Amino acid sequence: MSSSLSFESLPIEIQCSIIRHCDPISLISTSQTNTHFRALINPTRAHFAERLLALESLTEIGGPRISFSRFGSLNPDRNTPEWEANRWACTACLRLLPHFAFNNYALSSLAYRKPLPGSHESKKCTTWEPTLTISKRGKSKSITHPLNDPHSTKESRNLRKRYAITTTGNWGVRRTAVQNSHPHLITRLNSFWEAGFTEFQVLTYSQFKRISEEDENAIFDREAHAVEFLRAGSKRHLRRCIECRFRRGEFRGCAGRGRGTGTVNVPIVPGRQQTFGTVVDRYFPGFSSVFANKRPGFNAPAFVIHRDDALDRDWTFYRVRCQGCATWKELRAFRAGGIYPRWEPMDNISENRHDEYSNWDGKGVTEVFLEWIQLSSSDKIGHSS
């Protein structure tokens, strides 16, 4: 007589040995199978956060993949439907949220990005580990122990140093600037050796002197990708949305000695940048499209004087928390923006200052003004971005 052997009928020790090798999604799915596995696994909040981080890496859930260049540009960029379709995990409120629910650092910093496909971070197992202890009622229960943080090690510091060199061209010093300087080339090569660049370590000084700037940049590209493969997403478990950060008291406003912008009650968080032709398009999007005669295409104004090499300036989106309705809105909802792209909320707002930035009505954006807009924002009509 043959009988089938189910997973649940295996000894507890074997079940635990198998479960600890599950990925975070499978761990939670297994715990929700029945009461036996619910009691055995007993997932904690940390395990649900791991599951959410795994879900954000899936294209069908977290959105299309976004690639970062060495110098921070994105493909696709922040003004595309692909960027709008992406979702990121907040490990505090355990939700998948769009880009405007986070500040730029939480999405673009190397350790907070989504991991590269195929990397260890994208394929890591759950941190669940069974440890049997006896409770007061005499029943055993499993306890999990988080892994030690690997980011304080010497190897991690070296990786950060290597990445800093590759993404800034050795802290902004181009190879052409030191090409004919023997001492500077020696110093440059030594810094690459000390940072642990494998491709530079096999080069002699004579070989290094002969390579071109294009060859050096190609090595930088490969080294940057190698570091990204190891470190991208390594600190996603610390990512929090701006609302959770506000509730934790992380926004200290203009009184925070440069740690924040806005006020304690009405914080302001900078977001992505976008090109607009006029200030009207910035604060009233879609205004020009309602007319029968559409405005033709435009070149974004540079807003600079006496500079032949000036580049166009993009407008920065700012998220402002309205204390009246406890929601985050785009700055234009409060009539608090300026008429030039260079405008930004000031860090040290004071009634005694005479050089504070003004909004488009010419009213100074002071601390009193910011506290006032949250009281009257319910009477204003604005759009979110």
pLDDT tens-digit readout, 227-250: 999 999 999 999 999 999 999 998
Task: Note whether 181 and 298 are same-domain residues.
Answer: no
Q: What are the tens digits of pLDDT across the range 339-360?
A: 778 777 764 444 444 445 677 7
pLDDT over 50 at 383, yes or no: no
Angle, in degrees to the nearest 10, between helices 154-168 and 213-231: 140
Q: What are the tens digits of pLDDT across the range 42-93?
A: 999 999 999 999 999 999 999 999 888 877 678 888 888 999 999 999 999 9
The proportion of the chain whose per-residue pLDDT surpasses 90, expressed as a percent, equals 32
State residue 182's pLDDT score.
66
pLDDT over 70 at 32, yes or no: yes
State residue 279's pLDDT score.
81
Angle, in degrees to the nearest 10, between helices 154-168 and 182-195: 140
State residue 382's pLDDT score.
42
More confident of the two residues 349 and 163: 163
In a domain, 149, yes or no: no
Give the count of domains, the chain: 3
Is the Cβ–Cβ distance between 20 and 128 less than 8 Å? yes
Task: Note whether 45 and 101 are same-domain residues.
Answer: yes
The proportion of the chain whose per-residue pLDDT surpasses 70, expressed as a percent, equals 75
State residue 375's pLDDT score.
55
Q: Which of 231, 265, 299 is the last residue of a domain?
A: 231
In a domain, 208, yes or no: yes
140-154, 160-174, 304-318: range with lowest mean pLDDT: 140-154
Is the Cβ–Cβ distance between 372 and 333 less than 8 Å? no
**Number of Cβ atoms within 10 Å of the Cβ of 145:** 10
Range with top average pLDDT, 141-145, 155-159, 198-202, 349-353: 198-202
State residue 263's pLDDT score.
81
Tokens coding 319: 């998220």
In a domain, 384, yes or no: no
Tally the C-alpha atoms within 13 A of residue 20's C-alpha that lie toward its C-beta. 16
Task: Note whether 256 and 373 are same-domain residues.
Answer: yes
Name 78's Cβ contacts closer than 8 Å, sequence gap at least 6.
99, 272, 273, 274
State residue 180's pLDDT score.
60
Name the average pLDDT for the chain: 79
What is the mean pLDDT of the segment spanning 149-156?
62
Task: Note whether 124 and 162 are same-domain residues.
Answer: no
What is the mean pLDDT of the segment spanning 199-225?
88
Q: What is the pTM of this model?
A: 0.80
Range with top average pLDDT, 2-6, 61-65, 192-196, 285-289: 61-65
The shares of helix, strand and coil residues in the chain, as percent rounded to the nearest 5, are 45, 10, 45
In a domain, 192, yes or no: yes
* Structural domain that includes position 192: 154-231
State residue 2's pLDDT score.
45
State residue 98's pLDDT score.
95
Task: Note whether 223 and 325 are same-domain residues.
Answer: no
What is the mean pLDDT of the segment spanning 363-378?
66
In a domain, 239, yes or no: no
Range with top average pLDDT, 139-143, 237-241, 249-253, 374-378: 237-241
In a domain, 236, yes or no: no
State residue 158's pLDDT score.
81
Rounded Cα gap, residues 101 and 119, in angstroms: 26
pLDDT over 90 at 136, yes or no: no
